[in-house]
Structure 1
Amino acid sequence: MNRIYGYVITHDTGFAPNPFGEFLTLATCMPVIRRNAKAGSWLVGTGSAVHGLRGKLIYAAKIDEVVSLEDYGRDSRFLPKQPSRNGDDANRQGDNIYFKDEEGDWFQRESDNHDCSHMDHDLSGKNVLVAKKFWYFGSQACDLPEDLQQIVQKGRGYRCTDSPEVIDRLEKWLSTYRPGIGAETLVSGSGSCGPC
């Protein structure tokens, strides 16, 4: 069953989710969502009230694939998602930080975002959610329309809906924006965001 998983992004750094490269990925944080979400469902990250962004869309992504953390760590498609201290934000914010050695023990690649104290929490999510089509507004977060405010989570945790009507409204509203990083309005007057 397709669902919308709405949650608050308290720190939007490009790490979780990671919108860089060919895919948007959620490989850390939000372990319950990563354990349970299926392909075809939606991720909706909204801003924090602390930062004055409550009810504003940071990103939305339709999940194409659910990959185990172990497979994500070794799949060649996701090598560009490994963090590197050299290069631009895309390199530094890489979320492909966990891998198993030949004995089956988990290790963590060096990351500016998570250290080993996050490992148990992250690994409990078991999966990485992968989206080919996504809308990432980041610091230019857009107000969600009033009829979509019901998917906005307040505080910790997440809000979930499987209402076909709400999913349809989300998809129609998002279709007025160009997908990708810095999504732009395609239809004049369709939302509160201009070019990001």
Structure 2
Amino acid sequence: MTSVYLYAVSYDLGFAPNPFGGICSLACCKPAIRAGAKDGDWIVGLTGTKLRPALRCVFAMQVTRSITFDEYWADAEFETRKSRRNGSAKKQVGDNIYHRDQPAAPWVQEDSVHSLEDGSQCPLNTAHDTRVNRVLLSERFIYFGAAAPAVPADILANLNYARNPRDMRKYALAEAESLIDWLKPQVDAHDNIPLDDPINFDSSSKRFSATRQRMV
């Protein structure tokens, strides 16, 4: 049965999710969603308390496949998604950052949004991200970014989300049908190309501090 995952996006850098190159990936953060979402499920990110005004739709992706971190790192298809902190804004927010020398070896975290301020590995972010060894990929998505539209109030009311926004909610497709019906024509009208830059794209050179719980 198809499910719909709805969550509040804290920072929209183009890192989680990463909507560039015709694919939308969720490789870091949101381990509960990465653990549970199946092919065909929808993931929808809305602005929340950290991105005002709230309850705008940042992106929606339908999961079309999933792979492990090591597969993500080794596959030439995803080479351009590797983080390059001395590169363009898109390169700086690359989410293909975890790999191992062998299956039982410790995780290596490349210099990235989730590294420490000096570029070294952040144990807290590494543990949080890799506790679910799964990258979600979508070739059917819409990414609004800074052009994020407000979700109609009646749809939020049907979801009981307007008055009770949470970090993540999971719905059966029938429960969230009005939201998906609103999104589908917009998804189908665009060819997996971001409609605007990420809301926080000017912060692409910053890093997320797991101890401070903010960008630094």
Measured against the shorter chain, the TM-score band is 0.7 to 0.9
* CA distance in structure 2 between the aligned counterparts of 1:66 and 1:103, rounded to whole angstroms: 18
Retained in 1: the 8 A contact 2:42–2:60?
yes
Note if 1:112 corresponds to 2:123: no
CA RMSD of aligned residues (A): 2.0
Note if 1:181 corresponds to 2:180: no
Aligned partner letter, 1:173: W
CA shift digits 1:40-73 (9 cap, x unpaired) = 0001000022432321101101010011222112
Aligned partner letter, 2:172: D
Relative distance call for 1:165 and 1:6 in structure 2 (3 A) is closer
Aligned partner letter, 1:121: H
> Normalising to structure 1: TM-score of the pair?
0.84
* CA distance in structure 1 between the aligned counterparts of 2:96 and 2:44, rounded to whole angstroms: 21
Aligned partner letter, 2:128: H
> Normalising to structure 2: TM-score of the pair?
0.76
Note if 1:140 corresponds to 2:144: no
Aligned to 1:13: 13
Retained in 2: the 8 A contact 1:151–1:161?
no
SS of match in other structure, 1:58? strand
Any stretches of 5+ residues in structure 2 without a counterpart? 117-121, 197-216
Greater shift, 114-123 or 21-30, is seen at 114-123
* CA distance in structure 1 between the aligned counterparts of 2:12 and 2:134, rounded to whole angstroms: 21
* CA distance in structure 1 between the aligned counterparts of 2:50 and 2:166, rounded to whole angstroms: 10
Aligned to 2:170: 160
CA shift digits 1:68-90 (9 cap, x unpaired) = 22211212211111011243222
SS of match in other structure, 2:71? helix
Aligned partner letter, 1:161: Y
**Runs of 4+ residues deviating >6 angstroms:** none
Aligned partner letter, 1:181: P
1:165 offset after TM fit, Å?
5.6
* CA distance in structure 1 between the aligned counterparts of 2:130 and 2:108, rounded to whole angstroms: 11
Retained in 1: the 8 A contact 2:5–2:171?
yes
Out of 94, 114, 134, the residue aligned to residue 127 of structure 1 is 134
Greater shift, 133-142 or 33-42, is seen at 133-142
SS of match in other structure, 2:176? helix
Retained in 2: the 8 A contact 1:81–1:96?
yes
SS of match in other structure, 2:127? helix
How many residue pairs align between the two structures? Answer: 181
Relative distance call for 1:151 and 1:38 in structure 2 (3 A) is farther
Aligned to 1:192: none
1:103 offset after TM fit, Å?
6.5
Aligned to 1:80: 80
SS of match in other structure, 1:143? coil
* CA distance in structure 1 between the aligned counterparts of 2:155 and 2:66, rounded to whole angstroms: 25
Retained in 2: the 8 A contact 1:151–1:160?
no
Relative distance call for 1:175 and 1:79 in structure 2 (3 A) is same
SS of match in other structure, 2:112? coil
1:151 offset after TM fit, Å?
7.1
Retained in 2: the 8 A contact 1:48–1:54?
yes
Aligned partner letter, 2:182: W
| % identical aligned pairs | 31
Aligned to 1:190: none
Aligned partner letter, 2:194: I
